[in-house]
Amino acid sequence: MAANDARASTTPLIERRSIDYIPEAERHGRLFSQFTLWMGANLQITAIVTGALAVVLGGDVFWSLIGLLIGQLVGGGVMALHAAQGPKLGLPQMISSRVQFGVYGAAIPIVLVCLMYLGFTATGTVLSGQALGQLFGVSDSVGILIFASVIVLVTVLGYRVIHWIGRVASVIGVIAFVYLFSRLISQTDIGALLQIRHFSWSSFLLAVSLAASWQIAFGPYVADYSRYLPSKTSSVKTFLAAGAGSVIGAQVAMILGVFAAAMSNGQFAGHEVAYIVGLSGTGATAALLYFSIAFGKVTISTLNSYGSFMCIATIISGFRGRLEVTRFQRLVFVLVIVGTATLIALLGQHSFLGAFKSFILFLLAFFTPWSAINLVDYYCITRERYDVPALADPNGRYGRWNLLGISVYVFGVLVQLPFISTKFYTGPLVAALGDVDISWIIGLVLPAALYYVCAKKWHSAIPEHLILPPEQGATPIANGLAAQA
């Protein structure tokens, strides 16, 4: 532990590496930071709104809370399984996809992941802009620009600062939510709301799907924030730390959303930020809550922006064979990513954003099968025995295109289409299921089963053990993943 603390104290504030392997000598951090990071990322306004949807769209309080909890546990389990890969591989999450898809083929799901996180950043920026606009007495557009500037700064600084922000956000979030719950309890009869029970499968499954999809959406980048932990870190403990932080944070936020929507008499939808802050009254307390809402969005928006940067760098490195990311280049990448998200937020803050959010939720269907394939391969087929240097070599063990992984992935996307329910697209079987989107269940179970059966028979040669790159002088992965200070 002392050695680990010493490493952390000598690690530069601005992250030196990007998508390359993290040598053991540079590993640092504690499991508790995984818990606080993911709790801070979930104790925020978008999670409140997501939970409220379970009631706004027809569910009662009691069964919505149970459905949300089940969804958190299922989706959080998937998310945490990805988190446990970080310390063992020392790589960002999407780099490991090259085992299942090939060095070039991994770009297929990564492009779609980039689009999704770009959209999540834009939608979060709108809510944060509203909060900052109220806090500083400026327009929402100016609030959006202020928030975007903060995201650029934190994203450029990188891993250590992101974890620090997560710790602060978790503390602020706990204080704010305790206060909001106390105000909510004083203003409504919680017991009476819980007594109103009219179970329906469609509303219940909707609540499960809302929470599960929320958690699964973290999968493509969760290992990016655990990859600096020492390789001897227990996979089970990493699973529990990241999973517990995410599940507890999201469930608390969604519980608040459920009760807020239930007591709002239709005033919640469309005025989410103002309504939540209105629970506390006005004056200094309201100003502090506006600040906590904006700060809570800093963590998750930074995760989305940082994850997008990692994905873009991963795509480029796959085709170039070597990518050196200087600090200036990182700044350019981040400016382009956050700038694009900010432009979308400014254009869509009044009317377009609702349709755009539906499009982003539609994109979830394109990486749920990726998650299933990646997890089955890592835990059931290769059993952690990756050849990490080969992940950067198109002529190596994993090749350019892995037809098995790509084929199962395409199947996993297509098989979900009849079950997707969004404003952007609705599948033909949704009406028969009570307008409930169960595509995420289909997208996890069927591709996982198919890949397991096929990979058992046709998987390429698997190393006898995990192969890591040499660490002399902190050598980056051969022919591939390097970053300069």
The CATH number for 333's domain is: 1.10.4160.10
How many angstroms separate the first and last alpha carbons of the chain? 27
Band of pLDDT at residue 186, cut at 50, 70 and 90? confident
pLDDT at 345: 86
Band of pLDDT at residue 485, cut at 50, 70 and 90? very low
Please tell me the least confidently modeled range out of 208-217, 411-420, 453-462: 453-462
**Measured between alpha carbons, how far is 300 from 289 in angstroms, rounded to an integer?**
17
Band of pLDDT at residue 482, cut at 50, 70 and 90? very low
Q: Answer yes or no: are the C-beta atoms of 344 and 146 closer than 8 Å.
A: no
Band of pLDDT at residue 239, cut at 50, 70 and 90? very high
Q: Where are the alpha helices (DSSP H) in 364-402?
A: 368-376
**Measured between alpha carbons, how far is 179 from 273 in angstroms, rounded to an integer?**
16
**Residue 390 within a domain:** no
Highest mean pLDDT, choosing among 24-28, 100-104, 123-127, 457-461: 100-104
Name the average pLDDT for the chain. 84
pLDDT at 481: 39
Higher pLDDT, 337 or 348: 337
**Residue 351 within a domain:** yes
**Measured between alpha carbons, how far is 373 from 105 in angstroms, rounded to an integer?**
14
Q: Answer yes or no: are the C-beta atoms of 475 and 386 closer than 8 Å.
A: no
381-392 confidence digits (pLDDT tens): 998 899 988 888
- What residues contact residue 161 under an 8 Å CB cut-off, 6+ apart? 13, 154
**Residue 340 within a domain:** yes
31-80 confidence digits (pLDDT tens): 999 999 999 889 888 888 888 888 888 888 999 999 999 999 999 999 99
What φ, ψ does residue 387 adopt, rounded to 5°?
-100, 90
pLDDT at 200: 86
**Measured between alpha carbons, how far is 341 from 355 in angstroms, rounded to an integer?**
15
**Residue 16 within a domain:** no
Segment 140-167 shows an average pLDDT of 87
Q: Answer yes or no: are the C-beta atoms of 174 and 245 closer than 8 Å.
A: no
What φ, ψ does residue 420 adopt, rounded to 5°?
-80, 135
pTM summary value: 0.86
Please tell me the least confidently modeled range out of 103-107, 123-127, 211-215, 449-453: 123-127
∠ Cα 301 302 308 (to 5°): 95
pLDDT at 237: 96
Which of 466, 468, 461, 374 lies closest to 412 in space, CA to CA? 374
Segment 308-324 shows an average pLDDT of 77
**Residue 451 within a domain:** no
pLDDT at 471: 63
**Residue 470 within a domain:** no
**Residue 420 within a domain:** no
Number of domains in the chain: 1
**Residue 485 within a domain:** no
**Measured between alpha carbons, how far is 362 from 439 in angstroms, rounded to an integer?**
10
According to DSSP, residue 393 is labeled -
According to DSSP, residue 378 is labeled I
How many residues comprise the chain? 485
In which domain, by residue range, is 291 found?
30-222+231-356
Q: Is the pLDDT of residue 437 over 80?
A: yes
Q: Is the pLDDT of residue 278 over 90?
A: no
